[in-house]
Amino acid sequence: MRNRIRSIAVVIGITMLALIGTASPAASYDLEEYLGGAAVAEYSGRRIAMTLFDGESQAGIFELTHASQMVVVGSGKEGALIGPGRVSGDTGVMVPVWSQYAKDDRYRILNAEPTMRLGRMAEVLEVLEDDLVRARFTFDSLTRIPLVTEIYNSDGTLFRYSAMIEINAKPDLSYADMEAMSDSYDVMFPVGNTSMPLDAAGYVRADTYTGPDGTVQAFYTDSLFSFSLFEVDVDAHLDRFENAPTIKMNGETYSRIVTPTDIWMSWKSGDVAYVLIGDLPPDHLVKVLDDLPRPKQRGLFSRLWRSIFD
């Protein structure tokens, strides 16, 4: 279960970079053009990523190669190949289709400002939510390689930071080499009927899938940030949360995990367990959780029934 949830989250998160690029904010500069260029840019190097949440910080440095609109994170047997609709690694996962969601007017983009980064000419774009600087992106002026990403909390403090620390604009890895890393995949099939809410605090449910083990996964986005919500059996053993700390939000208790690139939340609601994995800022997360099923204990009759027949 742990590996499948991890792999699905990576697939959906990466493939929906195309979705992020559909944004059409009313501003002098359109983030779509920059993200479209980043999607086809070819480069390799090392990237540092860091997340700060609930008094904890997690950071990591990742080797990556981006070519032919595919990404290899790591190298050799430890590497993971990420491409449109799929990821291969310890567990291969594939989704056959996904939606394109047109962004609303939550965000607006300020004009690009010139700067220098790693000795390269670059441009900085600020993304505003109301009067708050929610994100700041730095792109290489010539290639549109994404050099720096900064995401901010509602109080202006830094929530996530990601930056290239070494870069090679002429990677050696070819498309054929990347394809050779592919393996067999578990296919996630789209489903229409689900109890998952259609939206949560401005995040729209763009796609819903079910996997070979019956796990249901819904992908939500506001076109800038996103999260995946997994619905699993309440008795499923989620190894990664065994010793996870807890956090109080909206008066409820959740298990939480911080990684360099995202936040994991887990809770039980009756006969269902939920896992949320996303890159959304903490103030968004509080509002989203308020619109999702609340934590609650399973009823006595249900516990007795399970103890007899499981």
Does 240 share its domain with 123? no
Does 193 share its domain with 116? no
Q: What percent of the chain is predicted at pLDDT more than 90?
A: 42
Per mean pLDDT, which range of 67-76, 202-211, 220-229 is the poorest?
Answer: 67-76
Per-residue model confidence (pLDDT) at position 306? 47
Does 33 share its domain with 174? yes
What is the Cα gyration radius of the chain?
20
Look-up: residue for tokens 């010539």?
Answer: 142
Q: Has residue 223 been placed in a domain?
A: yes
Does 36 share its domain with 149? yes
Q: Has residue 251 been placed in a domain?
A: yes
Question: What 8-state DSSP symbol labels residue 239?
Answer: G
Tally of domains within the chain:
2
Q: Using one digit for the tens of pLDDT, what is the confidence trace for 41-53? A: 889 999 999 999 9
User: CB–CB of 246/222 below 8 Å?
Assistant: no
pTM listed for this prediction: 0.84
Check which CATH number belongs to the domain holding 231 and give it: 3.30.200.100
Question: In the structure, what pLDDT confidence band is assigned to residue 20 with cuts at 50, 70 and 90?
Answer: very low
pLDDT of residue 182 exceeding 60, the answer is: no
Question: In the structure, what pLDDT confidence band is assigned to residue 27 with cuts at 50, 70 and 90?
Answer: very low
Task: Please say which residue of 164, 181, 198 terminates a domain.
Answer: 181
Question: In the structure, what pLDDT confidence band is assigned to residue 90 with cuts at 50, 70 and 90?
Answer: low
* Residues facing 229 on adjacent strands: 218, 276
Of 260, 239, 232, 255, which Cα lies nearest the Cα of 60?
Answer: 260
Task: Report which of residues 74 and 157 the model is more confident about.
Answer: 157
Q: Has residue 4 been placed in a domain?
A: no
Q: Has residue 126 been placed in a domain?
A: yes
Does 164 share its domain with 214? no
Does 41 share its domain with 131? yes
Does 37 share its domain with 107? yes
Range of the domain at 267: 188-309
Q: Using one digit for the tens of pLDDT, what is the confidence trace for 108-158? A: 888 889 999 999 999 999 999 999 999 999 999 999 999 999 999 999 999
User: CB–CB of 269/296 below 8 Å?
Assistant: yes
